[in-house]
Amino acid sequence: MIRVLRDDDVEAYSELRRAALLDDPLAFVSSPEDDFASDPAALRENLTANPESVILGAFEPGLVAAVGLYRDRHAKAAHKVHAWGLYVAPSHRRQGLARQLIEGILGHARSLPGVAKVHLTVSSSAPGAQQLYAQLGFQVWGEEPDALRYEGRSVDDRHMVLAI
């Protein structure tokens, strides 16, 4: 089941998010030590402050995958939303959950008045995610070499956009 996370899901999400950051550190700019989404109180505050921000989760029956979406807070850029933090627990990969979550985020984005574009950034360490985004119509508009460094490794980030 895919649905928007509720207040009572925040603890489970924080645990999943922490697992994501530990499981694939080069896929996320955040680290467990500096990630607001790993802190339940900070996450609640952030989601409350911006009602157009959502996190979708996949439950089977517990939370096994998630992705976030937020709208740019500046009036001149409010036609853009940003998808972030897609993660599927290793035990639930290759079941279509990532596609379902991204399609859910795209549906939410289309429901927001005035939104024209969905932006995301994907690490070169996540070729499967890049392929999924391309299949859904996202196009690369730029690349940042050496975007992230961790334990002597470096990865590039690809910036992608989809007009909706």
Mean per-residue pLDDT for 55-63? 95
The whole-chain average pLDDT of the chain stands at: 92
The token pair at 107 is: 């549906």
For the segment 8-28, the average pLDDT, to the nearest whole number, is 92
Q: How confident is the model at residue 131 (pLDDT cuts 50, 70, 90)?
A: very high
Q: Work out the pLDDT band at 20, boundaries 50, 70, 90.
A: very high
Domain map (residue ranges) of the chain: 2-163
pTM of the model: 0.92
- Residue 71: predicted pLDDT: 92
Q: What is the CATH number of domain 2-163?
A: 3.40.630.30
**Tokens read off for 12:** 């489970």
CB 54 within 8 A of CB 3: no
pLDDT at 33: 81
The residue among 142, 157, 120, 123 whose CA lies nearest residue 21 is: 123
